[in-house]
A and B are shown apart, each in its own frame.
Chain A
Amino acid sequence: MTPAMRVVEKRQLLSAEEIGRTLQRLAHEIVERTGGAKDLALIGVRRRGVPLANRLARQIRGFAQVAVPVGTLDITLYRDDLSTVGPQPVVQSTDIDFVVDNRDLVIVDDVLYTGRTIRAAMNGLFDLGRPKRIRLCVLIDRGHRELPVEASFIGQTVQTSDTEIVEVRLEEIDGEERAVLVDRVP
């Protein structure tokens, strides 16, 4: 058995204002490096990638006058640790109401860590069709990759230790807006 762990907050990584500014910058980068937004579509990974993808789409509509479609992806059925996690995690719905074939997709998630979530997300997307390209946008890259996965658009890169946890809290889900680094201490 693992001994009881306590979780302590070590420092704030992003304030509400900084999250807003970072998303604005990321939205501009995505449009710039896509050469317009014609075939672009955003895929929010449940849970916190979803509000982030919606916000990015709203930003892009604001400055580029393009309505970028947003889909929601649940990766539960594609996880590689299902036989090790005990009771099966609850499956959520995937809502992608556009054809992904030949789309220029950007997967959006809050934190990039081992890369396993993104591997699962790509598997899920390929079950829906053959996108032209898939790139990744994350608010925070915290390192410790276990797979050859890198993000094309990164809000902030943070050095972390293995025991630390990056928590992104968003208004839509958590009722507050900030990113913090917490640590597990015995």
Chain B
Amino acid sequence: MLHRLSHLLGIETLSSEQIAFILDQSKPFQEFQRHPLKKLATLRGKTVAVAFFEPSTRTRISFTTAASRLGADTMALQAESSSLKKGESLIDTVRTLEAMRPDGIVIRHSSSGAPEFVAERLEIPVLNAGDGTHEHPTQALLDALTIRDRKGKLEGLNVTILGDILHSRVARSNINLLSKMGARVTLCGPAMWLPRDLAFLAPNLRLTHRIEEALEGAEVVMVLRVQTERIHEPSLAPDEYIAGYQLTPARLQLARPGALVLHPGPIVRGLEIDSAVADGPQSGVLEQVTNGLAVRMALLYHLIGGASADAPHPAKDRTNASD
């Protein structure tokens, strides 16, 4: 159960039961997004530090809004990772934040493993909002929630992940989650972004460099953003990528009828995906954004709220046994 979880560092360390629990707990918060009055007092008096050492708009806004809708306050830290030396200066920065007594910290960092490093040194819950090329657990959870809503299940589904798998933390978290939940995952991309050893990320992964092969029978197609900022080696020319891997209406025809198309955003229109697909009826892109709020509210509620496990019980039990 999530009750035993003190941080959210990645999908890799979660059990399938914990994943299912988080998805189930996101349902009431999905419905909450439709309320006319979107403000709870559930986490009133709690403060969430939102520390982004790497640029981000949607994830940061999503976490901040999720905290605010639960009634918590946020303190934001926006720093350029280049101005901070890894290791000591990272820990100095978060220790400064900790001294302001937040009840939890959401962290994004360009170094893989930074959230874990922080979690080992602070007493408060740490939520990973994306670390290097390692994991982006809340993205995988909101993707799974969107898939489950549209397809009714995760188990046995054919899911194709398309693009720069090598540099993508979104892909890594999704591969972990989908494999744990029993989906059949196909990875597809140009050879330099899909080295053979990625097959060892999870059991039963299928790898292919041919998009036609990857799309055949797919019930979900996850398109990754081409991350120019994370690519250091000579990259593929955009027109080559478009010719080989852009998800176009014609290519989507190769997938199962009604296949769901997901994209973590921000979309580079006309590069990895054609606008007709991104805005088409099979696209779940905007649902992903709304579901992101629900997942993050559920996580903040369970991780930040509540008394710590070893705190004494100040109030006697007044709940009726029939409650």
Contact = CB atoms under 8 A, between A and B. Distances in A.
B320 interface: yes
Contacts of A4: none
A91 B322 contact: no
A176 B44 CA distance: 40
A90 B27 CA distance: 11
Contact of B25 (A84, A85, A91): A91
Contacts of B305: 82-83, 88
B320 A86 contact: no
Given A129-B36, A182-B321, A85 B29 contact: no
B298 to A, nearest CB: 7
Contacts of B323: 47, 111, 117
Contacts of A82: 42, 305-306
Interface stretch (A27-35, A54-62, A164-172): A164-172
Give the secondary structure class of A's interface: loop
A93 interface: yes
B307 interface: yes
Among B35, B302, B313, B319, max chain A CB count under 10 A is at B319
A91 B301 contact: yes
Interface in B277-323: 298, 301-302, 305-307, 309, 311, 313-315, 318-323
A165 B321 contact: yes
Interface residues of A, number: 38
Contacts of B40: 77-78, 127
A165 B321 CA distance: 6
Given A84-B314, A86-B309, A87-B306, A167 B321 contact: yes
Contact of B313 (A77, A86, A90, A165): A86
B25 A128 contact: no
A110 B36 CA distance: 29
Contacts of B39: 127
Contacts of A113: 318, 320
A82 to B, nearest CB: 6
A154 to B, nearest CB: 16
A78 B318 CA distance: 16
Interface in B32-61: 35-37, 39-42, 45
A71 to B, nearest CB: 12
Interface in A82-135: 82-88, 90-95, 110-111, 113-114, 116-117, 123, 126-129
Contacts of A117: 323
26 contacts: A77-B28, A77-B40, A77-B42, A78-B42, A81-B318, A83-B45, A83-B306, A84-B307, A84-B315, A85-B307, A87-B306, A88-B3, A88-B305, A90-B25, A91-B298, A93-B27, A94-B31, A110-B322, A113-B318, A123-B41, A127-B40, A128-B35, A142-B320, A166-B320, A167-B321, A169-B322
Interface of A: 47-48, 74, 77-78, 81-88, 90-95, 110-111, 113-114, 116-117, 123, 126-129, 142, 146, 165-169, 182
Given A84-B315, A86-B309, A167-B321, 16 more contacts: A82-B42, A83-B307, A84-B314, A86-B306, A87-B302, A92-B28, A111-B323, A117-B323, A126-B37, A127-B37, A127-B40, A142-B320, A165-B320, A165-B321, A166-B321, A182-B321
